[in-house]
Structure 1
Amino acid sequence: MSLKHSMLAVLVMLIWGANFVVIDEGLADVPPLLFLALRFTFVALPLVFFVPPPAGWRNVVAVGTFMSLGQFSLLYLALDLGMPAGLASLVLQAQVIFTIVIAAVVIKERPSRRQVAGATLGTGGLAVVVVAHGASAPVVPVLVMLGAATSWAIGNVIARRAGVASGLSLVVWSALVVPLPALGLSLVVDGGAEVGHALTHLSGTAIASTAFTAIGASLLGYGIFNSLLARYPASAVVPFVLLVPVVGIATAWLVQDEVPTVLELAGGVVMLVGVAAATVSRRRPVITPRRGPSVPSPRVESASPTH
């Protein structure tokens, strides 16, 4: 990759890493499911009127259900339940391990020995993180985060089996799956009075957080990331995603004074090494940019990130 494109990839990782803290700060004023509905409303609107829909409505709905609604509803709930934002950015990367396992079972996609070794190592590191966190804080938020990672992994496998490209069109149109169910669940869980009060008393923090997550993390982040995937091999682009938990933990430390324990950090390092082994290709990436507007369908070893 050129220096310019490498810097753009790093910029996206900075946005996605900081996004966990931004979401956590916004949740102080808005119930989690309502906050989710607001975010994806602005991901879809007004671009849905200008961006052509992707082919295959069933696949778009399925990807939106798992990658967007399932993943983020559980992510927002975990943060609302007390999951540390920095640790959340790390635990969510378990989706890579889960994707490999689910793809092997559901679509019979046989993982390589390197992927099996990486997934095994990553699972061991993840177990250390869960046990270490559970020793000093409630483990329920971590389990909810693992549910978010599982939902993301299922969405990855659906996209892989259907050959759905993770382009801007898919991001915008699949976002339509989220607002109404999320709003309906919020009305049931939080009650109409609390939802109404939150909507009529949005703080500056909540508005800024919604704008950052919708415009920065979803639209700008995906716009840049998918343009890079259209130019370069996935093996040259996807490894940048390993920067997300590093940025997430650093941002949480700077903004929220969140300091992971030594055991949590050790488990996180082991997990990321396993994820790297499962995703980073040994083959040298082709440096010459590829031409053409199409975006390659996601591969199991390079599942597209969503934040």
Structure 2
Amino acid sequence: MIALPLSRGDLLRALAVVVIWGLNFVVMKVGLQGIGPMLLGALRFAAASLPFLLFVRFPKLPVRYVVAYGLAQGLGQFGFLFLGLSLGMTVGMASVVMQTQAFFTLLLAVPLLGERARAHQWLGLTVALSGLVLIATAHGEGPGQMTLAGFVLTLGAGFMWAVSNIVVRLANRQGDYDPMPFIVWSSVFPILPFVALALWMDGPQTVLAQLIGLRWPALLAVLFLAWLATLLAYTLWTQLLKRHPAGRVTPFSLLVPVVGLWSAWMFFNELPMPQQWLGTGLVLLGLLVNQLGGWWVARRA
């Protein structure tokens, strides 16, 4: 596959995804104020898939890729993330830690896709890992502080996001397909596992009470997560992954924490501790080295 530069349209798609996903964390926190984490996952993917199944054909792909993406991106990524946010992960730090998906994708793409990792990418990974260590050691149990359990679960969510990126790249080798049906139909498969987990973790009575007591902030959060963060943003993201190598697309997540940290401050008055700011800076620096290191090397050559 010839690596073509990103067009203006692709850059606009990437920026739209950045804004939606940056605000995404605040919306999740709002939804979790009235809904359990597993029920929120079930409602999100039900709203993203069930209303459209009669109008959207199954994608021209083997079923295994659709199922694998749905379980990795839906159940894996958002199961871990919703649970982490409900167990004390702060909104701003979640937006930072989730971007480890860029480095997990790099680590997985080398053996699974045969993509070559260059020296600047390994350097970026090392810098970002040092930042994650600082963030992880700045946890606490007080109000507004990031818990260690929340951090670990969010790190797991970043890994599952990377797994879903690899599934997209493998699916792309099967031939051309439309990303929108891929996202709609893959969103079907996390629903029943999420429902089963909600019943197991919260109990049938609690789940029923949450559904009956659903209020408009939680409902709007579900619709935002389903239609904008899932259908629109992931369709755009999948289009980018289809057209360009994973190592070129995923570092655009560098900008997501900027929006995430700003929105966390605006809506929840969250201000990271000094150690977390330093760790965040190192994570972003690592992503920057990953993204721009190749350009710098090429200019020197």
TM-score (norm 2): 0.84
1:12 equivalenced with 2:24 (yes/no): no
- 1 CA distance for matches of 2:38 and 2:290? 33
- Would the alpha carbon gap of residues 260 and 200 (structure 1) be closer, same or farther in structure 2, given more than 3 Å must change? same
Task: Report whether the alignment pairs 1:120 with 2:126.
Answer: yes
Q: Which runs of 5+ in 2 are unaligned?
A: 1-5, 297-301
Q: 1:7 to 1:107 in 2, by over 3 A?
A: closer
Q: Following TM superposition, by how much is the alpha carbon of 1:154 offset from its aligned partner in structure 2, in angstroms?
A: 2.1
Partner of 2:185: 173
**Residue 28 of structure 1 corresponds to which residue in structure 2?**
33
Answer yes or no: is 1:220 the counterpart of 2:226.
no
Q: Bigger CA drift: 51-60 or 161-170? A: 161-170
Question: Residues 276 and 170 from structure 1, CA distance in 2 versus in 1: closer, same or farther, beyond 3 angstroms?
Answer: farther
**Cα gap change, 1:110/1:9 in structure 2, threshold over 3 Å: closer, same or farther?**
closer
> d(CA) in 2 for partners of 1:234 and 1:144?
24
Q: Which amino acid aligns with 1:185?
A: L
1:243: which partner in 2? 255
1:159-191 CA-to-partner distances (Å, cap 9, x unmatched) read: 334436782222111101111110011001100
Equivalent residue pairs, number: 284
Q: Is the 8 A contact 2:69 2:164 kept in 1?
A: yes
CA distance 1:37–1:169, change in 2 (3 Å): same
For 2:149, give the aligned amino acid. Answer: V
Quote the offset at 1:111 in angstroms.
Answer: 1.4
Pair 1:47-2:13 in alignment: no
CA distance in 1, matches of 2:292, 2:72: 25
Identity %: 37
Task: Determine which of 184, 188, 192 is the counterpart of 2:204.
Answer: 192
Letter in 1 for 2:287: V
Alignment correspondent of 2:265? 253
Q: 1:231, 1:153 → 2: CA distance?
A: 17
Decide which moves more: 42-51 or 62-71: 42-51
Aligned residue for 1:176, secondary structure, equals: coil
Distance in 1 (CA, whole Å) between partners of 2:244 and 2:168 is: 20
Asked if 2 retains the 8 angstrom alpha-carbon contact of 1:63 and 1:158, the reply is: yes
CA contact (8 A) 1:97 1:123 kept: no
Deviating more after overlay: 81-90 vs 116-125: 116-125
Contact 2:248 2:291 in 1 (8 A): no
Separation of aligned partners in 2, 1:247 and 1:166: 29
Instruction: Give how far 1:102 is off.
Output: 2.8
- What is the distance in 1 between the residues matched to 2:8 and 2:240? 12
Distance 1:227 1:65, change over 3 A: closer
Instruction: Measure, in 2, the Cα distance between the counterparts of 1:139 and 1:166.
Output: 40
Deviates more, 1:253-262 or 1:11-20: 11-20
- Written as runs of structure 1 = structure 2, the 5 A alignment for 1:69-80 is 69-80=75-86
Moved more, 160-169 or 24-33: 160-169
CA RMSD of aligned residues (A): 2.7
1:277: Cα distance to partner? 2.3
Question: In structure 2, do the counterparts of structure 1 residues 123 and 221 end up closer, same or farther at CA, with 3 Å as the change threshold?
Answer: same
The equivalent residue for 1:82 is 88
1:123 to partner: Cα distance = 1.1
- Relative distance call for 1:238 and 1:92 in structure 2 (3 A) is closer
Which residue does 1:133 correspond to in 2? 139
Matched, 1:183 2:209: no
Alpha-carbon offset, residue 137 of structure 1:
4.7
DSSP 3-state at the match of 2:45: helix
Aligned to 2:160: 151
Stretches of structure 1 that go unaligned for 5 or more consecutive residues are: 285-307
TM-score, length-normalised on structure 1?
Answer: 0.83
How much has 1:141 moved relative to structure 2?
A: 0.7
Indicate conservation of the 8 Å contact 1:239/1:280, yes or no: no
Output the CA distance in 1 between the equivalents of 2:224 and 2:165.
24
How many Å separate the matches in 2 of 1:96 and 1:228?
14
CA contact (8 A) 1:103 1:109 kept: yes
Measure, in 1, the Cα distance between the counterparts of 2:151 and 2:88.
Answer: 9
Where does residue 203 of structure 1 map in the other structure?
A: 215
TM-superposed deviation, 1:237:
6.1
